[in-house]
């Protein structure tokens, strides 16, 4: 059999390392398409001149573009037979990535836990994206619910890893080169608010909404070489519980991140991903909104930038004026994403 049927739960071994296909050189072409698909306006990623003025050699790629490219490679090996993408933790962007670099991904199986009904199991992986010299640019943990091929199959070794509730901001402090915050022009960046202007507990409604089309999420997901068939095969989707194509969860993250510019224009680089959950599905025709909360501020001893711990919540078909959120008995039904992350902001 020369086609890839994907791994089932019993095919994973605790501790094994999986080198994923296909390495990918990222280019200014990807940047343009990413801009067209999501509409980010962060100045550092948009303007080589702005980036150089504060100390970058040129504009780095949007961090979420890097994430999606690294993530996409894991799909054929990890989640082709997944029923659900359950969560993210311990994500860290190690350095900026520039056009012309080649990314590849390796995953280590760090946890396996069979479900009580023996039909499925949860696979925990730590995926690491590296450049062509093998230097890490991003790593993160993810766990997914994967089907078993044979419910009777025995699982050699189970283990549920202990994952940090949040990444220690001190471990993220060196992810950016030394920058000149004084040269960071807030008229050009689109907001006067610097690190000191944000405080824990502050909530921001990002106001704008984006309606998503089938062509958009398909183009995006193919750009990331993510092959999960639920995103592309409309005929097969008719027989699923949704009856239609499901949009890649990362598409929602990128939309929410782009929308968050309106209120967080200077949170210009992602540093870490503490936790993430795709609370509900998104479909073509739905409109995405977002709001954020500042969970924490961290001064990590850099003279140029500080870190904000942000929680960005995305909704579908409901503006975020009232900050739809988690309640005692679950989430507001409009919520589709709950993402907890660290971002750099100039001082």
Task: Show Cβ contacts of residue 98 under 8 Å, excluding neighbours closer than 6 positions.
Answer: 57, 58, 59, 60, 61
For the packed helices 249-259 and 63-72, what is the interaxial angle rounded to 10 degrees?
Answer: 180
With b for 16 or more beta-carbon neighbours within 10 A and e for fewer, the 26-48 pattern comes to beeebbeebbebbebebbbbbee
According to CB under 8 A, which one of 11, 205, 293, 325 is a site residue for a copy of itself?
205
Burial of 251 (0-12, 13-18, 19+ CB in 10 A): buried
Cβ closest to a copy of itself, residue 46 vs residue 85: 46
Q: Give yes or no for residue 310 binding a copy of itself (CB under 8 A).
A: no
Residue selected from 219, 240, 242, 321 as contacting a copy of itself according to rule CB under 8 A: 219
Residues binding a copy of itself: number (CB under 8 A): 77
Task: Name which of 48 and 332 has its Cβ closer to a copy of itself.
Answer: 48
C-alpha–C-alpha distance, residues 247 and 241, integer Å: 14
Instruction: Report whether 274 contacts 91 (CB < 8 A).
Output: yes
Binding mask 108-137 for a copy of itself (x = CB under 8 A): ------------------------x-----
Among 97, 176, 223, 310, binds a copy of itself (CB under 8 A): 223
Nearest to a copy of itself of 11, 48 (CB atom): 48
285 in contact with a copy of itself (CB under 8 A): yes
Angle (deg, nearest 10), helices 28-38 and 249-259: 80
Among 150, 158, 168, 233, binds a copy of itself (CB under 8 A): 233
Q: Identify the residue among 13, 15, 19, 119 touching a copy of itself (CB under 8 A).
A: 19
Cβ proximity to a copy of itself: between 41 and 302 the closer is 41
Of residues 209 and 276, the one with the C-beta less far from a copy of itself: 209
Residue range at the interface with a copy of itself (CB under 8 A); choices 47-55, 149-157, 274-282, 334-342: 47-55
- List, in sequence order, the alpha helices (H) in the chain: 28-38, 43-46, 48-54, 63-72, 186-189, 214-223, 234-237, 249-259, 261-264
Among residues 8, 35, 230, 281, the one that binds a copy of itself under rule CB under 8 A: 35
By CB under 8 A, what part of segment 144-183 binds a copy of itself?
none
Residue number with CB closer to a copy of itself (29 or 303): 29
264 neighbors 310 (Cβ within 8 angstroms): yes
Q: How many CA atoms lie within 13 Å of 269's alpha carbon, on the beta-carbon side?
A: 27
């Amino acid at each position: 059999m020369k086609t890839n049927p994907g791994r089932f739960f019993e095919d994973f071994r605790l501790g094994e390392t999986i080198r994923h296909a296909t390495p990918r050189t990222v280019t200014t072409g990807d940047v343009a398409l990413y801009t067209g698909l999501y509409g980010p306006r962060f100045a550092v990623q948009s303007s080589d001149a702005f980036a150089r003025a504060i100390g970058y050699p040129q504009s780095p790629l949007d961090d979420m573009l890097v994430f999606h490219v690294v993530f996409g490679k894991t799909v054929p090996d990890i989640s082709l037979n997944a029923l659900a993408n359950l969560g993210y933790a311990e994500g860290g962007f190690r350095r900026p990535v520039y056009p012309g670099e080649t990314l590849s991904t390796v995953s280590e199986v760090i946890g396996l836990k069979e479900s009580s009904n023996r039909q499925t199991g949860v696979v925990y992986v730590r995926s690491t994206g590296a450049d062509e010299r093998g230097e890490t640019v991003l790593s993160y943990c993810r766990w997914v619910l994967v089907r078993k091929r044979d419910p009777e199959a025995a699982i050699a070794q189970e283990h549920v890893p202990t994952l940090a509730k949040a990444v220690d901001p001190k471990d993220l402090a060196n992810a950016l080169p030394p920058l000149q915050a004084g040269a960071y022009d807030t008229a050009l960046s689109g907001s006067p608010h610097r690190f000191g202007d944000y405080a824990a507990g502050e909530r921001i409604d990002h106001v704008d909404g984006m309606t998503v089309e089938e062509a958009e999420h398909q183009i995006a997901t193919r750009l990331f070489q993510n092959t999960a068939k639920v995103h592309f095969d409309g005929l097969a989707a008719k027989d699923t519980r949704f009856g239609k194509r499901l949009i890649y969860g990362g598409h929602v993250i990128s939309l929410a991140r782009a929308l968050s510019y309106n209120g967080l224009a200077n949170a210009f680089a992602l540093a870490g991903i503490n936790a993430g959950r795709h609370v509900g599905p998104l479909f073509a025709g739905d409109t995405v909104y977002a709001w954020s909360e500042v969970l924490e501020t961290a001064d990590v001893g850099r003279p140029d930038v500080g870190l904000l711990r942000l929680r960005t919540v995305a909704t579908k078909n409901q503006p975020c004026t009232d900050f739809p959120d988690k309640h005692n008995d679950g989430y507001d039904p409009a919520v589709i994403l709950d993402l907890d992350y660290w971002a750099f902001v100039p001082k």
